[in-house]
Amino acid sequence: MSNHNQFTRRQFTRRSLLKTAGGIALVSGVSAPAILRAQTAEVIKIGHLTPRTGFLGPLGEYAVMAADLAVEEINAAGGMMGRKVELLKEDSVNPQTASTKAERMIERDKVACLIGEISSASCLTIAQVAQRNKVLYINTGGNSDALRGSDCKRYMFHVESQNSMYVKTVGRSFLRDGLVKGKKWYSLTADYAFGHDLLKVSKRFMEANGGNFAGDDLVPTDATDFSAYLLKIREAKPDLVVINLAGNQITNFLKQYAEFGLTFPVGGFGFDTALAWAAGKGNFVGTWPVVWHHLVDTPGTKAFVATFTKKYSKPPENQAWGDYISIKIVAQAVNELKSTESTKIIEHFEKGAKFDLLKTRPGYFRASDHQLMHEMYAITALPADKIKNQWDIFTSSPPVPEPNEDLEVIAATKEENSCTFPT
Protein backbone atom coordinates (compact mmCIF):
# COMPACT_ATOMS: atom_id res chain seq x y z
CA MET A 1 0.00 0.00 0.00
CA SER A 2 1.37 3.45 -0.85
CA ASN A 3 2.17 5.94 1.91
CA HIS A 4 -0.51 8.26 0.52
CA ASN A 5 -3.10 5.51 0.86
CA GLN A 6 -1.90 4.72 4.40
CA PHE A 7 -2.39 8.34 5.43
CA THR A 8 -5.80 8.42 3.66
CA ARG A 9 -6.87 5.25 5.43
CA ARG A 10 -5.93 6.69 8.82
CA GLN A 11 -7.81 9.88 7.99
CA PHE A 12 -10.91 7.86 6.98
CA THR A 13 -10.80 5.90 10.21
CA ARG A 14 -10.63 9.07 12.30
CA ARG A 15 -13.42 10.71 10.33
CA SER A 16 -15.61 7.65 10.88
CA LEU A 17 -14.94 7.87 14.60
CA LEU A 18 -15.86 11.54 14.67
CA LYS A 19 -19.40 10.81 13.47
CA THR A 20 -20.09 9.89 17.08
CA ALA A 21 -18.10 12.77 18.57
CA GLY A 22 -21.20 14.61 19.73
CA GLY A 23 -22.45 11.57 21.62
CA ILE A 24 -19.09 10.94 23.18
CA ALA A 25 -18.97 14.57 24.30
CA LEU A 26 -22.31 14.22 26.10
CA VAL A 27 -21.13 11.14 27.96
CA SER A 28 -17.65 12.32 28.86
CA GLY A 29 -18.41 15.97 29.55
CA VAL A 30 -15.80 17.06 26.99
CA SER A 31 -16.96 19.53 24.35
CA ALA A 32 -17.27 18.30 20.77
CA PRO A 33 -14.87 20.97 19.44
CA ALA A 34 -12.16 19.71 21.82
CA ILE A 35 -12.59 16.16 20.48
CA LEU A 36 -12.57 17.44 16.93
CA ARG A 37 -9.28 19.23 17.53
CA ALA A 38 -7.79 16.12 19.10
CA GLN A 39 -8.92 13.76 16.38
CA THR A 40 -8.26 15.79 13.24
CA ALA A 41 -4.59 16.67 13.75
CA GLU A 42 -3.58 14.76 10.62
CA VAL A 43 -0.38 16.72 10.00
CA ILE A 44 2.51 17.39 12.34
CA LYS A 45 4.17 20.69 11.46
CA ILE A 46 7.84 21.51 11.98
CA GLY A 47 9.11 25.07 11.66
CA HIS A 48 12.46 25.43 9.89
CA LEU A 49 14.34 28.72 10.11
CA THR A 50 17.71 29.40 8.50
CA PRO A 51 19.41 32.27 6.65
CA ARG A 52 19.07 31.81 2.90
CA THR A 53 20.41 35.23 1.94
CA GLY A 54 23.44 37.22 3.07
CA PHE A 55 26.88 35.91 4.01
CA LEU A 56 25.42 32.72 5.55
CA GLY A 57 23.05 32.06 2.65
CA PRO A 58 25.19 29.41 0.89
CA LEU A 59 25.10 27.28 4.05
CA GLY A 60 21.39 27.87 4.56
CA GLU A 61 20.61 26.44 1.15
CA TYR A 62 22.27 23.15 2.14
CA ALA A 63 20.29 23.19 5.37
CA VAL A 64 16.99 23.51 3.50
CA MET A 65 17.84 20.76 1.01
CA ALA A 66 18.72 18.38 3.83
CA ALA A 67 15.63 19.26 5.86
CA ASP A 68 13.42 18.57 2.84
CA LEU A 69 15.12 15.21 2.32
CA ALA A 70 14.72 14.21 5.97
CA VAL A 71 10.98 14.98 5.94
CA GLU A 72 10.57 13.15 2.64
CA GLU A 73 12.21 10.04 4.13
CA ILE A 74 10.23 10.25 7.38
CA ASN A 75 6.93 10.48 5.50
CA ALA A 76 7.91 7.58 3.25
CA ALA A 77 8.47 5.51 6.41
CA GLY A 78 5.04 6.34 7.85
CA GLY A 79 5.54 9.81 9.31
CA MET A 80 5.47 10.63 13.01
CA MET A 81 2.93 8.61 15.00
CA GLY A 82 1.41 7.64 11.67
CA ARG A 83 0.85 11.27 10.72
CA LYS A 84 2.34 13.13 7.79
CA VAL A 85 5.04 15.69 8.58
CA GLU A 86 4.88 19.13 6.99
CA LEU A 87 7.94 21.39 6.92
CA LEU A 88 7.31 25.14 7.12
CA LYS A 89 10.41 26.98 5.85
CA GLU A 90 11.45 30.61 6.26
CA ASP A 91 14.53 32.72 5.57
CA SER A 92 15.49 33.99 9.02
CA VAL A 93 17.70 36.80 7.58
CA ASN A 94 18.69 38.40 10.91
CA PRO A 95 17.94 38.07 14.66
CA GLN A 96 14.87 40.33 14.64
CA THR A 97 13.33 38.60 11.63
CA ALA A 98 14.16 35.19 13.11
CA SER A 99 12.30 36.08 16.31
CA THR A 100 9.24 37.40 14.44
CA LYS A 101 8.99 34.37 12.19
CA ALA A 102 9.49 31.95 15.08
CA GLU A 103 6.64 33.63 16.96
CA ARG A 104 4.39 33.39 13.93
CA MET A 105 5.20 29.72 13.34
CA ILE A 106 4.28 28.92 16.94
CA GLU A 107 1.17 31.08 17.31
CA ARG A 108 -0.36 30.94 13.83
CA ASP A 109 0.95 27.69 12.37
CA LYS A 110 1.00 25.66 15.61
CA VAL A 111 4.33 23.96 14.87
CA ALA A 112 5.35 21.08 17.13
CA CYS A 113 8.93 22.35 17.28
CA LEU A 114 11.44 24.73 15.71
CA ILE A 115 14.62 23.58 13.98
CA GLY A 116 17.50 25.36 12.30
CA GLU A 117 19.56 28.55 12.18
CA ILE A 118 23.26 29.28 11.66
CA SER A 119 23.77 32.70 13.24
CA SER A 120 24.37 32.47 16.99
CA ALA A 121 22.66 35.83 17.48
CA SER A 122 19.52 34.58 15.70
CA CYS A 123 19.64 31.32 17.66
CA LEU A 124 19.33 33.33 20.85
CA THR A 125 16.26 35.29 19.70
CA ILE A 126 14.56 32.08 18.51
CA ALA A 127 15.38 30.38 21.80
CA GLN A 128 13.82 33.25 23.73
CA VAL A 129 10.59 32.82 21.74
CA ALA A 130 10.68 29.04 22.17
CA GLN A 131 11.26 29.33 25.92
CA ARG A 132 8.45 31.84 26.36
CA ASN A 133 6.03 29.60 24.46
CA LYS A 134 7.40 26.33 25.88
CA VAL A 135 8.14 24.88 22.45
CA LEU A 136 11.18 22.74 21.66
CA TYR A 137 13.92 24.38 19.56
CA ILE A 138 16.92 22.51 18.11
CA ASN A 139 19.85 24.66 17.03
CA THR A 140 21.54 23.23 13.95
CA GLY A 141 24.22 25.82 13.21
CA GLY A 142 24.92 28.32 16.01
CA ASN A 143 28.30 27.62 17.64
CA SER A 144 28.53 30.15 20.46
CA ASP A 145 29.49 28.67 23.83
CA ALA A 146 27.28 31.33 25.43
CA LEU A 147 24.19 29.62 23.98
CA ARG A 148 25.17 26.61 26.13
CA GLY A 149 26.25 28.82 29.05
CA SER A 150 25.04 32.25 30.11
CA ASP A 151 22.28 32.23 27.45
CA CYS A 152 21.20 28.59 27.80
CA LYS A 153 17.48 27.78 27.72
CA ARG A 154 15.61 24.70 28.91
CA TYR A 155 13.71 24.46 25.60
CA MET A 156 16.85 24.79 23.42
CA PHE A 157 19.05 21.85 22.36
CA HIS A 158 22.16 21.92 20.19
CA VAL A 159 23.01 19.45 17.42
CA GLU A 160 25.65 21.89 16.20
CA SER A 161 28.88 21.69 18.21
CA GLN A 162 29.87 24.51 20.53
CA ASN A 163 32.98 26.57 19.80
CA SER A 164 34.92 24.75 22.54
CA MET A 165 34.42 21.45 20.71
CA TYR A 166 35.69 22.94 17.45
CA VAL A 167 38.75 24.46 19.15
CA LYS A 168 39.66 21.34 21.13
CA THR A 169 39.19 19.11 18.07
CA VAL A 170 41.45 21.00 15.66
CA GLY A 171 43.68 22.08 18.54
CA ARG A 172 44.91 18.50 18.79
CA SER A 173 46.19 18.78 15.22
CA PHE A 174 47.89 22.13 15.92
CA LEU A 175 49.60 20.70 19.01
CA ARG A 176 50.73 17.62 17.09
CA ASP A 177 52.18 19.79 14.31
CA GLY A 178 54.02 22.10 16.71
CA LEU A 179 51.93 25.18 15.90
CA VAL A 180 51.07 26.30 19.43
CA LYS A 181 53.77 26.42 22.10
CA GLY A 182 56.08 29.39 21.58
CA LYS A 183 54.34 30.29 18.32
CA LYS A 184 52.78 33.53 17.08
CA TRP A 185 49.21 33.52 15.75
CA TYR A 186 47.48 36.18 13.69
CA SER A 187 43.70 35.93 13.82
CA LEU A 188 40.85 37.41 11.80
CA THR A 189 37.52 37.20 13.58
CA ALA A 190 33.95 37.83 12.39
CA ASP A 191 32.58 40.83 14.28
CA TYR A 192 29.37 39.36 15.71
CA ALA A 193 28.31 37.00 18.51
CA PHE A 194 29.75 33.82 16.97
CA GLY A 195 33.14 35.38 16.24
CA HIS A 196 33.50 37.10 19.61
CA ASP A 197 32.73 33.85 21.40
CA LEU A 198 35.07 31.81 19.19
CA LEU A 199 37.91 34.30 19.72
CA LYS A 200 37.46 34.03 23.49
CA VAL A 201 37.59 30.22 23.36
CA SER A 202 40.54 30.09 20.94
CA LYS A 203 42.53 32.54 23.09
CA ARG A 204 41.89 30.37 26.13
CA PHE A 205 43.24 27.33 24.26
CA MET A 206 46.27 29.18 22.88
CA GLU A 207 47.28 30.74 26.19
CA ALA A 208 46.84 27.44 28.05
CA ASN A 209 49.25 25.82 25.59
CA GLY A 210 51.98 28.48 25.47
CA GLY A 211 51.15 30.46 22.33
CA ASN A 212 50.66 34.19 21.78
CA PHE A 213 49.02 36.59 19.32
CA ALA A 214 51.01 38.57 16.79
CA GLY A 215 47.80 40.26 15.66
CA ASP A 216 44.07 40.08 16.20
CA ASP A 217 41.54 41.87 13.96
CA LEU A 218 37.74 42.00 14.10
CA VAL A 219 36.23 41.91 10.58
CA PRO A 220 32.76 43.32 9.74
CA THR A 221 30.43 40.61 8.44
CA ASP A 222 29.84 42.55 5.21
CA ALA A 223 33.57 42.82 4.40
CA THR A 224 34.56 41.26 1.06
CA ASP A 225 38.00 42.82 0.45
CA PHE A 226 40.72 41.40 2.74
CA SER A 227 43.73 43.11 1.15
CA ALA A 228 44.37 45.42 4.13
CA TYR A 229 44.35 42.46 6.51
CA LEU A 230 46.58 40.41 4.20
CA LEU A 231 49.16 43.20 4.14
CA LYS A 232 49.21 43.24 7.95
CA ILE A 233 49.62 39.45 8.01
CA ARG A 234 52.52 39.66 5.56
CA GLU A 235 54.20 42.25 7.82
CA ALA A 236 53.62 40.25 11.04
CA LYS A 237 55.09 36.98 9.66
CA PRO A 238 53.01 34.74 11.98
CA ASP A 239 53.58 31.03 12.55
CA LEU A 240 49.87 30.41 12.00
CA VAL A 241 47.06 32.44 10.43
CA VAL A 242 43.89 31.69 12.40
CA ILE A 243 40.58 32.23 10.63
CA ASN A 244 37.60 32.86 12.92
CA LEU A 245 35.42 34.11 10.07
CA ALA A 246 32.04 32.75 8.97
CA GLY A 247 30.02 32.02 5.85
CA ASN A 248 31.30 33.13 2.46
CA GLN A 249 33.86 35.38 4.15
CA ILE A 250 36.04 32.29 4.51
CA THR A 251 35.74 31.58 0.79
CA ASN A 252 36.66 35.16 -0.10
CA PHE A 253 39.61 35.18 2.29
CA LEU A 254 41.03 31.90 0.95
CA LYS A 255 40.83 33.11 -2.66
CA GLN A 256 42.57 36.38 -1.81
CA TYR A 257 45.16 34.65 0.38
CA ALA A 258 46.14 32.56 -2.66
CA GLU A 259 46.22 35.65 -4.90
CA PHE A 260 48.59 37.40 -2.48
CA GLY A 261 50.92 34.40 -2.64
CA LEU A 262 51.18 34.10 1.16
CA THR A 263 52.55 30.82 2.47
CA PHE A 264 52.13 31.06 6.25
CA PRO A 265 50.29 28.01 7.63
CA VAL A 266 46.53 28.55 7.83
CA GLY A 267 44.00 27.06 10.19
CA GLY A 268 40.59 27.79 11.55
CA PHE A 269 38.41 27.02 14.55
CA GLY A 270 35.07 27.05 12.75
CA PHE A 271 34.33 25.74 9.28
CA ASP A 272 31.85 24.45 6.70
CA THR A 273 32.95 22.31 3.77
CA ALA A 274 30.76 24.26 1.31
CA LEU A 275 33.13 27.19 1.81
CA ALA A 276 36.12 25.08 0.81
CA TRP A 277 34.30 23.84 -2.29
CA ALA A 278 33.46 27.41 -3.26
CA ALA A 279 37.09 28.51 -2.89
CA GLY A 280 38.07 26.18 -5.70
CA LYS A 281 40.99 23.90 -6.46
CA GLY A 282 44.29 25.15 -5.12
CA ASN A 283 42.76 27.94 -3.03
CA PHE A 284 41.65 25.83 -0.07
CA VAL A 285 44.54 25.44 2.39
CA GLY A 286 45.10 24.57 6.02
CA THR A 287 43.55 22.44 8.75
CA TRP A 288 40.02 22.95 10.04
CA PRO A 289 37.45 21.30 12.36
CA VAL A 290 34.09 19.99 11.13
CA VAL A 291 31.12 18.28 12.80
CA TRP A 292 30.83 15.84 9.89
CA HIS A 293 31.86 15.51 6.25
CA HIS A 294 30.75 13.52 3.22
CA LEU A 295 33.77 11.18 3.34
CA VAL A 296 33.03 9.75 6.80
CA ASP A 297 33.40 5.99 6.34
CA THR A 298 30.23 4.59 7.88
CA PRO A 299 27.19 2.88 6.31
CA GLY A 300 24.89 5.67 7.51
CA THR A 301 26.95 8.43 5.95
CA LYS A 302 27.35 6.53 2.69
CA ALA A 303 23.58 6.08 2.41
CA PHE A 304 22.87 9.75 3.24
CA VAL A 305 25.49 10.98 0.76
CA ALA A 306 24.19 8.70 -2.00
CA THR A 307 20.56 9.77 -1.52
CA PHE A 308 21.38 13.48 -1.22
CA THR A 309 23.68 13.39 -4.26
CA LYS A 310 21.07 11.60 -6.35
CA LYS A 311 18.45 14.20 -5.42
CA TYR A 312 20.56 17.36 -5.70
CA SER A 313 23.49 16.38 -7.99
CA LYS A 314 26.09 17.26 -5.35
CA PRO A 315 27.13 15.80 -2.00
CA PRO A 316 25.86 17.20 1.31
CA GLU A 317 28.13 19.32 3.44
CA ASN A 318 28.27 19.54 7.22
CA GLN A 319 25.45 22.08 7.63
CA ALA A 320 23.24 19.70 5.66
CA TRP A 321 24.12 16.95 8.12
CA GLY A 322 23.04 19.08 11.08
CA ASP A 323 19.55 19.86 9.79
CA TYR A 324 19.01 16.34 8.45
CA ILE A 325 20.03 14.71 11.74
CA SER A 326 17.98 17.14 13.85
CA ILE A 327 14.74 16.28 12.07
CA LYS A 328 15.54 12.56 12.28
CA ILE A 329 16.19 12.91 16.03
CA VAL A 330 12.80 14.60 16.54
CA ALA A 331 11.05 11.91 14.50
CA GLN A 332 12.69 9.14 16.52
CA ALA A 333 11.75 10.78 19.82
CA VAL A 334 8.14 11.44 18.78
CA ASN A 335 7.67 7.87 17.56
CA GLU A 336 9.25 6.41 20.71
CA LEU A 337 7.20 8.60 23.05
CA LYS A 338 4.02 8.61 20.95
CA SER A 339 3.82 12.32 21.72
CA THR A 340 4.80 15.68 20.25
CA GLU A 341 4.71 17.43 23.64
CA SER A 342 7.88 19.46 24.06
CA THR A 343 8.14 18.77 27.80
CA LYS A 344 8.08 15.00 27.23
CA ILE A 345 10.68 15.21 24.46
CA ILE A 346 12.94 17.37 26.64
CA GLU A 347 12.73 14.85 29.50
CA HIS A 348 13.53 12.06 27.02
CA PHE A 349 16.60 13.91 25.75
CA GLU A 350 17.80 14.77 29.26
CA LYS A 351 17.60 11.14 30.34
CA GLY A 352 20.30 10.25 27.80
CA ALA A 353 18.39 8.96 24.77
CA LYS A 354 20.85 7.72 22.12
CA PHE A 355 20.70 8.62 18.43
CA ASP A 356 22.36 7.32 15.27
CA LEU A 357 24.37 10.24 13.88
CA LEU A 358 25.82 8.45 10.81
CA LYS A 359 29.14 8.17 12.68
CA THR A 360 31.02 5.33 14.39
CA ARG A 361 29.10 5.63 17.66
CA PRO A 362 25.76 7.08 18.73
CA GLY A 363 25.38 10.48 20.35
CA TYR A 364 23.31 11.94 23.16
CA PHE A 365 22.38 15.34 24.59
CA ARG A 366 24.27 16.32 27.73
CA ALA A 367 21.67 17.11 30.39
CA SER A 368 23.66 19.94 31.94
CA ASP A 369 23.66 22.23 28.87
CA HIS A 370 21.75 20.32 26.13
CA GLN A 371 24.81 20.03 23.89
CA LEU A 372 24.89 16.98 21.62
CA MET A 373 27.87 14.81 22.52
CA HIS A 374 29.32 13.32 19.35
CA GLU A 375 32.47 12.74 17.31
CA MET A 376 34.11 15.49 15.26
CA TYR A 377 36.90 15.60 12.67
CA ALA A 378 39.88 17.71 11.64
CA ILE A 379 40.26 18.02 7.88
CA THR A 380 43.38 19.12 6.01
CA ALA A 381 43.44 20.51 2.48
CA LEU A 382 44.99 18.32 -0.21
CA PRO A 383 47.72 19.75 -2.44
CA ALA A 384 46.29 20.84 -5.82
CA ASP A 385 48.00 17.97 -7.67
CA LYS A 386 46.30 15.40 -5.40
CA ILE A 387 42.74 16.62 -6.01
CA LYS A 388 40.71 14.32 -8.28
CA ASN A 389 37.34 16.13 -8.24
CA GLN A 390 35.73 19.32 -6.93
CA TRP A 391 34.37 17.70 -3.77
CA ASP A 392 37.08 15.42 -2.37
CA ILE A 393 39.61 18.16 -1.66
CA PHE A 394 40.76 17.23 1.84
CA THR A 395 41.90 14.37 4.04
CA SER A 396 40.36 13.72 7.43
CA SER A 397 41.60 12.76 10.86
CA PRO A 398 40.02 9.75 12.55
CA PRO A 399 37.04 10.62 14.75
CA VAL A 400 37.78 12.94 17.66
CA PRO A 401 37.64 11.92 20.52
CA GLU A 402 39.36 8.58 19.97
CA PRO A 403 37.34 5.36 20.49
CA ASN A 404 38.71 4.83 24.01
CA GLU A 405 37.88 8.39 25.11
CA ASP A 406 34.67 9.79 26.55
CA LEU A 407 32.77 11.96 24.06
CA GLU A 408 32.76 14.79 26.56
CA VAL A 409 36.55 15.35 26.59
CA ILE A 410 36.30 17.89 23.75
CA ALA A 411 33.35 19.78 25.24
CA ALA A 412 33.53 22.78 27.55
CA THR A 413 33.76 21.88 31.23
CA LYS A 414 31.38 23.40 33.78
CA GLU A 415 34.26 25.60 34.93
CA GLU A 416 34.79 26.87 31.36
CA ASN A 417 31.13 27.38 30.50
CA SER A 418 28.39 26.98 33.07
CA CYS A 419 24.69 26.70 32.27
CA THR A 420 21.88 27.27 34.76
CA PHE A 421 18.43 26.67 33.30
CA PRO A 422 15.80 29.17 34.41
CA THR A 423 13.12 27.69 36.64
From first to last of its 423 residues, what are the pLDDT tens digits of the chain? 544 444 444 443 444 433 433 433 333 334 444 333 333 468 999 999 999 998 899 999 999 999 999 999 999 999 999 999 999 999 999 999 999 999 999 999 999 999 999 999 999 999 999 999 999 999 999 999 999 999 999 999 999 999 999 999 999 999 999 999 999 999 999 998 889 999 999 999 999 999 998 999 999 999 999 999 999 999 999 999 999 998 889 999 999 999 999 999 999 998 889 988 998 888 999 999 999 999 999 999 999 999 999 999 999 999 999 999 999 999 999 999 999 999 999 999 999 999 999 999 999 999 999 999 999 999 999 998 999 999 999 999 999 999 999 999 999 999 999 999 977
Cβ-count burial 128-165 (b if 16+ within 10 Å, e if not): bbbbebebbbbbbbbbbbbbbbebbbbbbbbbbbbbbb
Give the pLDDT confidence score for residue 247 in this predicted structure: 85
How wide is the angle at C-alpha 214 spanned by C-alphas 211 and 217, nearest 5°? 115
The rounded distance, in Å, linking the Cα atoms of 11 and 251 is 49
The CATH number of the domain covering residues in 3-162+297-373:
3.40.50.2300
Where do runs of H (alpha helix) occur along 47-119?
A: 57-76, 95-107
The rounded distance, in Å, linking the Cα atoms of 42 and 6 is 12
The upper half-sphere exposure of residue 219, i.e. CA atoms within 13 Å in the direction of its Cβ, equals 30
Same fold, 3-162+297-373 and 164-291+376-410: yes
Domain ranges of the chain: 3-162+297-373, 164-291+376-410
Give the pLDDT confidence score for residue 12 in this predicted structure: 37
* C-alpha 346, offset from chain centre: 18
Whole-model pTM over 0.85: yes
In sequence order, what are the beta bridge partners of 394?
381
* C-alpha 174, offset from chain centre: 24
Give the pLDDT confidence score for residue 6 in this predicted structure: 47
Give the pLDDT confidence score for residue 420 in this predicted structure: 95
Give the pLDDT confidence score for residue 193 in this predicted structure: 86
Give the pLDDT confidence score for residue 41 in this predicted structure: 62
CATH code 3.40.50.2300 for 164-291+376-410: yes
Closest CA to 350 of 182, 72, 136: 136
- How many CB atoms neighbour CB 412 within 10 A? 23
Give the pLDDT confidence score for residue 75 in this predicted structure: 98
The rounded distance, in Å, linking the Cα atoms of 23 and 298 is 55
Give the pLDDT confidence score for residue 231 in this predicted structure: 97
